[in-house]
Structure formats: C-alpha cells, structure tokens
A and B are shown apart, each in its own frame.
Chain A
Amino acid sequence: MAKTPFAKRDEHHELTRRALIKWSVAAGAALGVSRAKVFEILERAGGRDVAYAASENATTRSVHIVAGNGGLAWFTAFWPHNDIAAAVPAGAAVKPGGTLVTGTDNPLTLSVDAPWKTLPGANQVTAFLCGNNETHTRQPQSVVGLNGNNIFSVASALQSSSPSVIPIITIGDVDVGTAPGSARPANVGNGDGIVGLFNSAASRAGGLLSKTTDATLYKAHFDAFTQLNRAANRSTTKIAYTTASGAANFLGTNLSAKLQIVQADLDRYMINGNTRANVAAIGRSLIVSVKAFKMGLTNSVVLPAMDDDPHGAWDGGDINTVPGQMQAVFNGFMSDLQNTVDDNTMKALGDDTVITIHGDTTKDPLTKGGWPDGSPMNTNTVFVYSAGHLKSGWWGSIDRAANVKGFDAQGKPATYSSANTAKYAMASIAYAIAKRDERAISNFANGLTISGVFGRPKDL
C-alpha cells in the first residue's frame, strides 16, 4: 500500500538528514578538516540530533597484525596458555611470573612481558585457539577466513558506513582477500609509506597547489572541465566523477606534516637504535596509523609483523630482549590510542579501535629448545583487543600435558575443530568491529550468534 504523505515526508526528511551527514563528514574527511568543526556546523544547521547522529561511528577502526613466518610465536610470550603459565613445566616455552588477570570473562594470564597490563579485565585481550598451524607462510588463511570471505576485507566492508579517504591500507605483502562490499586497499611498502598516501607533491611548499587560492581554483575548474565531458552526468559515471572530484580537492591538502613520524613519537614507543628492525617497523606503522585514524583518513591498517621464525629465541636469549621491546611498542600504541581523541567522534581512539593479531604458527608452547614449529593438535591462535566488545580471556586451551580443548558455538568446551573455532573467532572480530551489531555481520556470519556468547550484548 502506498505510504501516507506524512510517512513519505518523514522518510524524505531522514534521507536528507543521512545525506547531509554523509556528505558533510566525507567532505571534512577529504579535506582533512577537523570533523568537530563539521559537527559544529551541522549542529547549527541541522540541530543537535543531527550533529549527535553524525558524531557516532557505526563501526570501530581496526588494526590487523599478520605475524607470519613464525612471528606469532612472539605474541605467545605476552599471553601464554593459562595452565602452562601456572605450571611452568620444565622445558616449556613460557617464562615464570605470569599472573592471572582479575575481571576477565575467561581466565587470561599476562606474562611478565605482556603489554596493556593496566587495562581493566573486561578490556583485556580475547584469545581464540582456532584455525590450523600453517607453518612458514606470511599469508595464513585458516585464521582469517569467515565463510569464504577474508576478515580484513569483511572489516573494510563493515567500515564502509564510516567515511574515510582511503578505507583500508595494507603494508608490504599482507593478503586481505575479498569480501562483498569491501574497499580495494591502498598498498604501501612500510609504515612511513602511509604518509605518502596523503601527501601530494602539488601541495608541498613550492608546488603548484601550495597556495590555498590556487588549490581552490584547481578544484573548481576541474569540476567545470569534467562537466564538459558528455558522459559526466550519466548515471553510470556519477560515482566515479564524485570520487575524482574529492581527489581533486584532496590534492590541494597536504597532511604529511601531521602524519610524519617525529622523534617524540619514537620516544613514546621507546624505539631507538637498540630496537630490533622488525619491532621498530611495527612501531612506525602503528604511530602513523594512530595519526591517520585521528584525522579520519583511513579505517583500517593491515600490517605484517616479525616474520623472523624465531627457533632460537629461547636458546639464544632473544626471549629476554625482544618481547620487552615489543611490549614497549604496544604499550606506546595503546597509550596513543587512549590519549588521542578521534576528530570524527570526539572520543578516545582506544574505545573505538579493534586490534587483531594473526599468524601461521604459535610454535610448540611446551618445548622451548629450538622452539619447534609444530603445535599440539595443529592448533593456531588469534589474539584480539576488542575495545570491550568481546568477552576477554581464552577460548580454548592447551594444558601442561598438551591436551587441547576447543569450543563450540555456545562457547562451551568441545573437541578442537580448527574450522569451526576459526569461524567463531572471525565472526567475533566482525562483531567487535560492528560494535556489537549482530545484524550488520549477518551477511558474513551466516547465522552464527556472537552476542551473549563470545561478545557482550549490545547496550539498549
């Protein structure tokens, strides 16, 4: 039945409001202008409700760390299996002194080298024993797949509701696979390369668009010239030309100074000449990621980590230095997230960012000599900082006798299934990124229920 005129009017009003928010925020993001300013304007023009609706991101931002080629093993030095950490069996790859965190949903042990020790229990990491051991690959698949889609691309698809200039950035050779609706990633060689994505040559000092008036003129005349293209107004070209117009605007905006890594950043992350190159590389990527998140330039960064196959970590003593350096970097990162206010939402990034850590193998947690690649029952692990959206602690376990427990769809202990556990873990990550919106992830989760099982229910 046809809608009443009032219903139509109300719906039209909603569409207009959405469009107003969407384009205002997108324009702000493209310009690198503080969205707080955009919201001030929205509040004046459209009222407080419009500004409030605009300031809430529907999804979190995300950082995905792919610690391939054995690199994931370093992260087990942060969050060891509870029973192994409690027993510290002779020869096991675990340091004594680990402590059980209070306030977590499931038990979680923090090693002496673990970062983020000051976070409340509810916000501590969620560790999923899931997927297969895929020793010696930089692009593990079993711990990133969700019903045929890649979780990094799923994140990008979910985050499409939050506008950004470059939706997803990949560093190096990480593989983000595909998912319906995901954005194509912009790839850079390293963390410093992210700066280059937002740094046009034309906008630099002495460049063609270094003067604001010339940059404005360029954008206006680009738009004028495109209108002279006969096909510019075709329904099939509108989206492309709109993107190009945004790019023309963006060209005159130089954000490099705001993204550049400075010594103070390195000091916060305790990166210096003694820091391992692969640890420093993680830190540099994370430093720029925070800055890019703050300005709404991107929603997701996928980076490689470690990639050093540390068989000799325990025998050679690296276990006494490298985890400490990593701890400093990750503590610096969390501190940055907590102390940086998102220009989009005016909230701390720490409450709006999900961090996931994947890899090919955890190595054998019960054998430190040569730290063998094999893991009990061929298990793998994914660590997630969910900003409090997921229940914290371990799902699944390996005990001191190498007994492996998986978990089922209800989160209850079950026989280990690499495929099922990975599916639950990936759906949980999607749930956290979607800020507990079960409906938003339904296209990818295929009927899995995360709310109340692995994830905290949405606040009503």
Chain B
Amino acid sequence: MSRIGYTLAILASSVLASACTDDLTPTNTPPAGSTSGDESTTFDHDNSGISPWELLDRLTQEGPPQYTSHMHSCAKVRYKTLGNVLTSLGVNAANATALSAGDLYTNGFNALGGPNYANRIRENIGITTSGASREFDIFAAASDEVIAAFANPSSTLMTRCPGAVLFDANNTCQPSGITCLIGTPATSSHLDFCNLTITSASDVPTGKRLAVAAMLAAAYTCE
C-alpha cells in the first residue's frame, strides 16, 4: 500500500473508532474488588458541595472560621446589657408602669432568656423568636422615651451624645442622632431609610417612633 493509502486507512479507522466509542467498554473500568463503581453499585457521592472558589472568596472576606465565629457571631444582647443600653438611651429601665419599656424589661426576664442561677441554667446566648420579639417590643415601647430624651439636655442620652439631634424641625432624620442611637456612624442609607419610615407611616409621630424602634432593634439584634 502506498503512503497515501496508509494515511487514508489510518484516518478512516480513527473516524470509525471515534464514531463507535459509545458502544465500547469504558477504559477506566475499575478492577475487580474495587470500592468504586457506578451509581448502582457504589455510594453516590455528592460532588455538588461548596465551590472552592466561593469558599476561598468567603475566607478572603470573612477570615477563617475560627476568626469569623468569634468576630462575626451573633449572640443575643444579654439581659443585664439590655438594661444598660436602655439606661444609656434615656429610658427608665425600672419603670413599673404597665406596658412601659421598663415594665416589659423587668417582666421579660424569662422571655429574654435571662440566667436562672438557682437552677444552674446559664443565660441563653442564642437569639430566639421569643427573646428577640420581647427585646423589639421593649424598643417599640421605649421609642417615646428615647425621642423625649433627645429634647432633654440633662438626660443620660444627651450626656452621652451632647448636641445630638435625631429629628429636625421638619421631621427629617439627622445623622448625629442616628449615630448616637445605633453606636456606629450613620450612613446616607440610614438617613434615607429613617426618612422613608417617617413618611410611610400612618402619621408622622408614629413614623418617628417606628424609625427609632426599627433602628434600635436592628442595631441591638446582636450584642
């Protein structure tokens, strides 16, 4: 056979072989006794787990789990701490008036997951629906007192944040007041959401209270 003939024969056979590949036994068939096989003969491993690239990206942003679980965990605000927070906001945490923030705080010890030392039960550090809803209820009840505290120069809140203003004469949210409330510098988004809350509520006074309650709840969800 000529060189051209050999070339044509090799090309033709390779084309034929590739066309019949589906009918051939796979070349990577595991040896007898192997623990791997196919879906009907071996455990079907799930290989669709976390993408290594997504994990790497997350680790780059958040740090390793040992670090992020310490720095970015979200433990609930402890009972005593919540009392201190309320006091620092100008709220009377010992107020016994029914349904006042102080009353809800005092009577919310169990719902807030406070420690039961007599029964050797430590304070719950996880956020539960009952605990978080009671905490948010307290902030909702405290909103009036907080707004009033901004207008009282001798209040605990104004002592902590001298000169801070939460709402101006036009009922517009002010960054100094928000910063004082949430404990971190207010951003333009905070201002936008705060103003939107006031304008979207059923009336302006309710909107101001809602804004305070929502900002406090969001800021103090985690300790």
Chain A residues packing against B (C-beta within 8 Å): 1-4, 7-8, 11, 30, 165-166, 173, 175, 183-184, 186-189, 196-197, 200-202, 204, 207-209, 211, 213-214, 217-218, 221-222, 224-226, 228-229, 231, 234-237, 239-241, 243-244, 246-248, 250-251
Contact = CB atoms under 8 A, between A and B. Distances in A.
B48 interface: yes
Nearest to A216: B200
Interface stretch (B5-13, B14-22, B186-194): B186-194
8 contacts: A1-B45, A175-B119, A201-B104, A211-B202, A214-B201, A217-B201, A231-B74, A241-B74
A3 B44 contact: yes
Contact of B215 (A183, A189, A211, A225): A225
Interface string B77-115: 000000000000000000000010000100000110100
Contacts of B215: 225
Contact of B187 (A3, A165, A228): A228
Contacts of B129: 30, 165-166, 243, 246-247, 250
A272 to B, nearest CB: 29
B69 interface: yes
Contacts of B196: 221
A142 B70 CA distance: 38
Contacts of B128: 166, 183-184, 186, 243
B119 A213 contact: no
B38 A1 contact: yes
Given A1-B44, A200-B137, A221-B197, A236 B74 contact: yes
Given A217-B201, A225-B219, A201 B140 contact: yes
B174 interface: no
Contact of B222 (A197, A235, A237): A237
A173 B121 CA distance: 12
Nearest to A211: B202
A4 B58 CA distance: 28
A208 B213 contact: yes
Given A186-B111, A222-B214, 14 more contacts: A1-B45, A3-B48, A8-B48, A166-B129, A184-B113, A202-B140, A211-B206, A213-B202, A214-B206, A221-B193, A221-B196, A225-B219, A228-B218, A247-B132
Contacts of B160: none
A240 B36 CA distance: 41
Contacts of A228: 187, 189-190, 193, 218
Interface string B127-139: 1111111111100
B146 interface: no
Rank and list the top 8 A-B pairs by shortest CB-CB distance, nearest first: A225-B218, A240-B74, A247-B132, A202-B140, A247-B133, A237-B74, A234-B72, A187-B110
A208 B124 contact: no
Given A208-B143, A228-B187, A3 B210 contact: no
Interface in B28-69: 36-39, 42, 44-48, 58, 62, 68-69
B127 A240 contact: yes
A452 to B, nearest CB: 30
A241 B219 CA distance: 11
A156 to B, nearest CB: 12
B211 interface: yes
Contacts of A30: 129
B141 interface: yes
A218 B194 CA distance: 11
Nearest to B61: A234
B217 interface: yes
Contact of B130 (A2, A3, A186, A224): A186
A225 B190 contact: yes
A417 B39 CA distance: 48
B221 interface: yes
A241 B129 CA distance: 11
Contacts of A243: 127-129, 132
A244 B132 contact: yes
B73 interface: yes
Contact of A240 (B48, B104, B140, B221): B221
B46 A250 contact: no
Given A197-B130, A217-B210, A225-B190, A247 B136 contact: yes
A200 B209 CA distance: 16
Q: Which residue, B74, B110, B111, has most C-beta atoms of chain A within 10 A?
A: B74
Contacts of B189: 228
A229 B190 CA distance: 10
B126 interface: yes
Given A187-B110, A228-B190, A236-B73, A1 B62 contact: no
Q: Which residue, B75, B135, B218, B222, has most C-beta atoms of chain A within 10 A?
A: B218
Contact of B68 (A197, A209, A221, A236): A236
A251 B48 contact: no
B175 to A, nearest CB: 13
A189 B76 CA distance: 23
B218 A186 contact: no
Contact of B217 (A187, A222, A246): A222
